[in-house]
Structure 1
Amino acid sequence: MSVLPTRLLVLWCPDWPAVAAVAAGGVAVTRPAAVFLANRVVACTAVARARGVRRGMRRREAESQCPELAVFGADDGRDARLFETVARAVEELVVGLEVVRPGLIAVPVSGAAGYFGGEIRLAEKLLDQVAAAAGVECQVGIAEGLFAATIAARHGEFVEHGEAAAFLAPLPVAELDQPGSDRAELVGLLTRLGLHTLGAFAALTERDVLARFAFEGVLAHRLARGLSERPPLRRRPPPELSLTESFDPVLERIDVAAFVAQSTGARFHAGLTERGLACTRLGIYATTESGEQLGRVWRCAEPLTPQGVSDRVRWQFEGWLRAAPGARPTSGVARLTLEPQETVEGRSLQLGLWRGGNPAAGPDEDEELTAERAGRAFVRVQGLLGPEGVVTPLLDGGRDPAGRVRLVPWGDARDPISPPDAPVLGPPAPSGEGWSHDNGPTAWGEALGATWPGRLPAPSPATVLVRPLPAEVVDAEGRLVGLTAHRRLTSAPSRLSILGEPSRQVLDWSRVWPMTRVANRAPGPPRARVQMLIAGAPDEPPEAVLLLCAGLDNPLWTVEGVYD
């Protein structure tokens, strides 16, 4: 029998990035506002939503819907710094709070509910306290486990004891894709398989989930069943896992604190990794020069990476050092302690094994960290240049080698949009067989119903020229080689000249690959592609090229690509 998770109260501040941006920018709360990342809306105020602004909109579309929209850039440091006011307000009433992310706080219910006379009374006290001390509206929810309690807060629900699974069952599986969880791909797969609700997903056996969705699916399956993402850890992390740093001179500036956070976070994470552990609940404690004690606990759904540790340390320093007068420390930070309050086994770091990695190679932390840093850099560049400023190539459907490559903005779904490929009938025949003008064989790939008739078979050219190069192909007697009405070569190619340079001998060539006329286009001259192997320059190896021939009487040859 599975042990139920700890019963939690979650306090949620809706649209927190937008609320924090408005507060930091001094904008009137009645003015619509939105926060953008990579030129897309990631958060907006209720006033902006009433004017038609939605998450995911491009900036131009959002401003066309709401011309008076106040635009802000995403800033995790700003969000965390201003949320410290909310955390302090909650901390005045209850102890043991955990900041899940800026805008979301989790509090154990048991002790506080008994002290204030019940869960409902506790929730009322917290709402009044946050509204009075921080001037922020929020919602609360109570349930077993952080996942269920977070969703309960968004719905304003108090789930009865032991009823978390029943509460979650009718909800859509899209709820699994919480911020920072990176489960969009899993949610899409579940939806395509007909598992539209958390209850339908939870009804599967864990063995079947592991076989079909691997370890990442098992974690999500536990959440759908109302359990913790991982089984509870009974032992407390040993003290030697903590990391303490002393500073002389003391830390009083944000830029210095940010530098310290980067190096300290990396060493803290490395110490856990050496023992095969990862941190999911991080305690950040500081002592000022005058003896003041500061502390905050950050809870994370996924094991923290070195960058994740550094970010939370930096955010917390910003919250302490930039607090309002009276809440700000009276002196700089002299000592910092990072304490792993909850750890999981190192296998939780090996999710990359189920994301297309090589199982025999094992997890490569350096590569994961490098990929994470690169992704963050790409997002920053997109914030400057727009989403089309950073693109990655995707091989899609099409007939032409150049037409098959589609550039996808970084962060967008890399899903093919063209129909799937259809197999060709078979491999090409030897190049010397039947290439005279009267008995050349027909090309493969013109099967009835083929998706892309006339497409070249693999391999594709390693280099596809943006501007094809003019060429000339002649036979052994010096006559131009062209196409017949049946799209076959008029004679066997002997020499090839590119850009008017001295011709080179054609060592071998492929079949002719006729290009099928596209529907709804005006008919043009017959066209076909040929792959040729030509002699290289002196002391150079032969070269393989892809050529296009168009026309009958005056054939026009161009080089479209080069093979490695």
Structure 2
Amino acid sequence: MSRLLVVWCPDWPVVAASTVAGLPLDTPAAVFAANRVVAANARARADGVQRTMRRREAQSRCPDLVVFLDDVDRDARMFEPVAMAVEELAVGVEVIRPGVVAVPARGPVGYFGSEEAAAERLIDQVAARTGAECQIGIADGLFAATLAAHRNRLVPPGGSPEFLAPLTIRELESGRPDLVDLLRRLGIRTLGAFAALDPGDVSTRFGADAKLAHRLASGLQERPPSRRRPPVDLSVTHNPDPPIDRVDAAAFVARTLGERLHAGLAAHGLACTRLGIHASTANGETRDRVWRCADPLTASGIADRVRWQLDGWLRGGTGRPSAGITVLRLEPEETVDGRTLQLGLWQGGHDEQAERAARAMVHVQGLLGPEAVLTPVLTGGRGPADQVHLVPWGDERVPPAPPDRPWPGRLPAPSPAAIPVRPLPASVFDEAGVEIGVTGRFRLTGEPARVAYGGGRPRAVAGWAGPWPADERWWDPDSARRRARLQVLLAEQSEEDSQEALLLVRENKSWSVEGIYA
């Protein structure tokens, strides 16, 4: 197995965001997505800020916390100078994701004489060129080398299984949280314990993704060495006219080329795992970069990486081209069997659409605040409005009251189709035109005959049911509520009328419309 050298810049999303904002890197800061922490720097972690923590909790622990929104385009653009700095000393640079690059260890180790010397030289190079701090890891295989970089370790040849064995099973959590949760509940807490299982049993019991995770935990290559080199004609080339010199134009071209490349690979039963991006400018300048991905790239995944790369080249502080891009070529440097991308029977393409929707919601939250995007959660309660609890997008969807408990006074199904934002004032009359009320024993003072609401004329009642009493928090005078609900069906008296059913509530000696049935 080939040895890889991985350069890892800790807390890169925070470093990139702070650099763009012009803040010192020692300022406590965190990056949030869907209102939860996805990255925090050392100063913030020292105050108790942790990944997946809600924004409110993070700010309560660290009042001086600077909040940034997750922006992968920004992270990739700011990371390009780091990749270029590594490329000056080592060939074959592959960007794994913003913050992580990998190179074959053989070249720099042979040039500088030892793995220790190569690691020290690359750390100094990145710091001198970009001012960013980084850690180096060398091991057999990308997974082990990345974890070694997190620990600033140089794993000896053949020592990856021993290095991985004591590490927690949570190291496999990225992209497969359900599998890791299941393994933990089965008592498998370390990578070594997982690697000790029979591969056939793992594949039979847990599926194909678990088989790949088992290979990683065992210190093997991500995939067996059966990859195919794609035909040359599968690369796609675009000659933009006019040349690309703006990020918005780059984004449009990235999407088009990504779909073309993905469609061409799919027609041959292939999927790309290493993507080569090559660009030339009108002045003869060339730019080349390879992106490696653990999972086969989808069309949107290809487009994202092309957009990130072009953004880094066009807006980067160093190595920026002096003219627009006139030739853009994508090459699938490495492919796997396209069946690796097969989705579950009931998934279809909805996961990708859900991801796009989630990004849009997070973007709206970034513009208007976390409380601007709310999602409903069914909760316990008696009235229809009480049974819906709104939480900010990204917050934990936990109902404040159990919905499956008995709720005396709850209305029978079905629930109203519409609930007014503010209850509409209403009046209920008997045949003599006298307004009906509710007694202290929750009994109507008359039989409903007409109902008027929202400032409209009184309408005849075709049928009614109730009242349903709700005597809530009677033990606390300050928060006690006494209500009675009444369902009425309004009759059609003219062509202008439509048959309606209303849910009325009586509280504080007045009626209001709480819901409207379809």
- TM-score (norm: length of structure 1): 0.75
Q: Which whole-Å CA distance do the structure 2 matches of 1:341 and 1:489 have between them?
A: 79
Query: Is 1:546 equivalent to 2:503 in the alignment?
Result: yes
Deviations 1:467-504 (A, max 9, x none): 32344445678776665666466776555443563232
Partner residue, 2:83 = 87
Deviations 1:441-475 (A, max 9, x none): xxxxxxxxx3x333234332111123323444456
1:472-511 to 2 correspondences below 5 Å:
472-473=427-428, 487=442, 493=448, 495-499=450-454, 501-507=457-463, 509=465
SS in 2 for 1:460: coil
Contact 2:32 2:38 in 1 (8 A): yes
AA in 2 matched with 1:124: E
Deviations 1:538-562 (A, max 9, x none): 35663332233458xxx64432111
Query: Is 1:389 equivalent to 2:345 in the alignment?
Result: no
Partner residue, 2:136 = 140
Q: Which whole-Å CA distance do the structure 1 matches of 2:200 and 2:446 have between them?
A: 63
Partner residue, 1:304 = 297
Q: 1:342 aligns with which of 301, 311, 334?
A: 334
**Aligned-pair distance for 1:14?**
0.8
Q: Which whole-Å CA distance do the structure 1 matches of 2:207 and 2:499 have between them?
A: 47
SS in 2 for 1:463: coil
Partner residue, 1:560 = 514
Query: Is 1:318 equivalent to 2:301 in the alignment?
Result: no
Contact 1:549 1:557 in 2 (8 A): yes
Partner residue, 1:426 = none
Deviations 1:302-324 (A, max 9, x none): 44344433332232223334455
Partner residue, 1:407 = 390
Unaligned segments of structure 2, at least 5 residues: none
**Aligned-pair distance for 1:169?**
5.0
SS in 2 for 1:394: strand
Deviations 1:284-310 (A, max 9, x none): 012334544421111223443444333
Question: Taking structure 1 as reference, are residues 562 and 176 closer, same or farther at Cα in structure 2, changes over 3 Å only?
Answer: farther
**Aligned-pair distance for 1:102?**
1.4
Range with bigger deviation, 84-93 or 511-520: 511-520
Contact 1:397 1:420 in 2 (8 A): yes
AA in 2 matched with 1:234: R
SS in 2 for 1:247: coil
Question: Taking structure 1 as reference, are residues 399 and 140 closer, same or farther at Cα in structure 2, changes over 3 Å only?
Answer: farther
**Aligned-pair distance for 1:242?**
1.5
Q: 1:463 aligns with which of 413, 418, 421?
A: 418
**Aligned-pair distance for 1:393?**
1.9
Q: Which whole-Å CA distance do the structure 1 matches of 2:189 and 2:493 have between them?
A: 62
Q: Which whole-Å CA distance do the structure 2 matches of 1:515 and 1:476 have between them?
A: 27
AA in 1 matched with 2:514: E
**Aligned-pair distance for 1:104?**
0.5
**Aligned-pair distance for 1:109?**
3.7
**Aligned-pair distance for 1:99?**
0.4
Query: Is 1:8 equivalent to 2:1 in the alignment?
Result: no
Question: Taking structure 1 as reference, are residues 12 and 530 closer, same or farther at Cα in structure 2, changes over 3 Å only?
Answer: same
Partner residue, 1:288 = 281
AA in 1 matched with 2:305: R
Q: Which whole-Å CA distance do the structure 2 matches of 1:215 and 1:494 have between them?
A: 67
**Aligned-pair distance for 1:331?**
4.7
Q: Which whole-Å CA distance do the structure 2 matches of 1:83 and 1:44 have between them?
A: 17
1:65-214 to 2 correspondences below 5 Å:
65=62, 67=64, 74-109=70-105, 113=109, 117=113, 119-159=115-155, 164=160, 167-178=163-174, 181=175, 183=176, 197-198=190-191
Partner residue, 1:239 = 232
Q: Percent identity?
A: 55
Question: Taking structure 1 as reference, are residues 546 and 59 closer, same or farther at Cα in structure 2, changes over 3 Å only?
Answer: closer
Partner residue, 2:361 = 378
AA in 2 matched with 1:281: R
Q: How many residues end up aligned between the 2 structures?
A: 514
SS in 2 for 1:262: helix
SS in 2 for 1:465: coil
Contact 1:39 1:383 in 2 (8 A): no
Partner residue, 2:484 = 528
SS in 2 for 1:466: coil
Question: Taking structure 1 as reference, are residues 189 and 102 closer, same or farther at Cα in structure 2, changes over 3 Å only?
Answer: same
Partner residue, 2:253 = 260
**Aligned-pair distance for 1:255?**
4.5
AA in 1 matched with 2:389: R
Question: Taking structure 1 as reference, are residues 193 and 521 closer, same or farther at Cα in structure 2, changes over 3 Å only?
Answer: farther
AA in 1 matched with 2:237: T
**Aligned-pair distance for 1:94?**
2.9
Deviations 1:96-140 (A, max 9, x none): 221011110122345655665554444334334333444332112
Deviations 1:68-94 (A, max 9, x none): x76666543443233222212322333
Partner residue, 1:429 = none
1:50-65 to 2 correspondences below 5 Å:
50=46, 56=53, 58=55, 62=59, 65=62
Unaligned segments of structure 1, at least 5 residues: 354-358, 423-449
Range with bigger deviation, 10-19 or 52-61: 52-61
Q: Which whole-Å CA distance do the structure 2 matches of 1:418 and 1:216 have between them?
A: 37
Q: Which whole-Å CA distance do the structure 1 matches of 2:355 and 2:251 have between them?
A: 18
Q: Which whole-Å CA distance do the structure 2 matches of 1:534 and 1:230 have between them?
A: 68
Contact 1:474 1:495 in 2 (8 A): yes
Q: Which whole-Å CA distance do the structure 2 matches of 1:132 and 1:313 have between them?
A: 27
Question: Taking structure 1 as reference, are residues 71 and 464 closer, same or farther at Cα in structure 2, changes over 3 Å only?
Answer: closer
**Aligned-pair distance for 1:12?**
0.5
SS in 2 for 1:415: coil
Question: Taking structure 1 as reference, are residues 324 and 526 closer, same or farther at Cα in structure 2, changes over 3 Å only?
Answer: closer
Q: Which whole-Å CA distance do the structure 2 matches of 1:228 and 1:214 have between them?
A: 18
Deviations 1:195-254 (A, max 9, x none): 655566667778887899776666656555555665554212233332111234443444
Contact 2:377 2:397 in 1 (8 A): yes
Deviations 1:346-404 (A, max 9, x none): 555455x4xxxxx46x613xx55544433323222211221112222222222221122
Query: Is 1:515 equivalent to 2:470 in the alignment?
Result: yes
SS in 1 for 2:410: coil
- TM-score (norm: length of structure 2): 0.80
Contact 2:459 2:491 in 1 (8 A): no
Deviations 1:384-435 (A, max 9, x none): 221112222222222221122122212223233432413xxxxxxxxxxxxx
